[in-house]
Amino acid sequence: MRTVGSALTFLAMIAQGSPVAQQAPTPSPESKVMMQRLSELLEPVGVQVAAETMPPPAAMGTKELRVRWGRGNSPAAPAAQGVPVPGPPPPGSFSISSQRRYAETAPRQRVLEIEPGRLLVAAVDRNGRLRSWMVIIDPRIVRSEGPGPDGTLTGQTLVVEQTEFFLSVPDDPEIVECRFYEPILNGNTYRLVSMGSLSVTR
């Protein structure tokens, strides 16, 4: 009778939602759509996307990186450094000029806003699996306005060949690299073009 009573107690605990019966939360429909879109964008460029490899941001702090973006070895780049020029930005080289750590959780974007003038940053582990992602405004793009010959105010989009910007990523020991991608409109969707990568060390 004691064995039967213990079994009934165990079943009652499950029915009441005790820790024995707890399971991982079911992803929301919005989360599933987000993961599907990330997969469609990133897997063609060699990044593996799976919910299991992306830890919840609340589990760790933030690493703030000050990133220097140089003009790389583009043959079309002008000799002058930091001079805005018309045209699309070429790929470049990335390096960390400084970094700081915070206990607060890294900001988490809930909407994947892919559009021209922005970059998708994929933080990956040593096996190329996505650990975190963010969309940032392309820090090289500068928009200026000035009067034309007839006095009419006109705008122009320029590109700075070298720049620095801040990037906040989870302080995740599994992250070894941040990859930068520019979205290019391809019909009704976007494809990603690699702009370079940044080695992230502890």
Question: Is the entire prediction scored with pTM above 0.85?
Answer: no
SS3 for 41-77, per residue? HHHHHCCECCHHHCCCHHHCCEEEEEEEECCCCCCCC
Cβ 138 vs Cβ 89: under 8 Å = yes
Please indicate whether residue 106 or residue 68 has the higher confidence score (pLDDT).
68
What does the pLDDT look like over 166-190, one tens digit per residue? 999 999 999 999 999 999 998 888 9
What does the pLDDT look like over 78-124, one tens digit per residue? 434 444 444 444 456 899 999 999 998 887 888 899 998 999 999 99
At 9, give phi and psi (nearest 5°).
-65, -40
Q: Out of 12-16, 31-35, 127-131, give the one with best mean pLDDT.
A: 127-131
What does the pLDDT look like over 127-147, one tens digit per residue? 999 999 999 999 988 887 777
Tokens 């392309």, located at residue: 138
Model pLDDT, residue 192: 95
pLDDT at residue 75 is higher than 70: no
Extents of the domains making up the chain? 27-73+82-199
Model pLDDT, residue 107: 77
Given pLDDT bands bounded at 50, 70 and 90, which one contains residue 77? very low
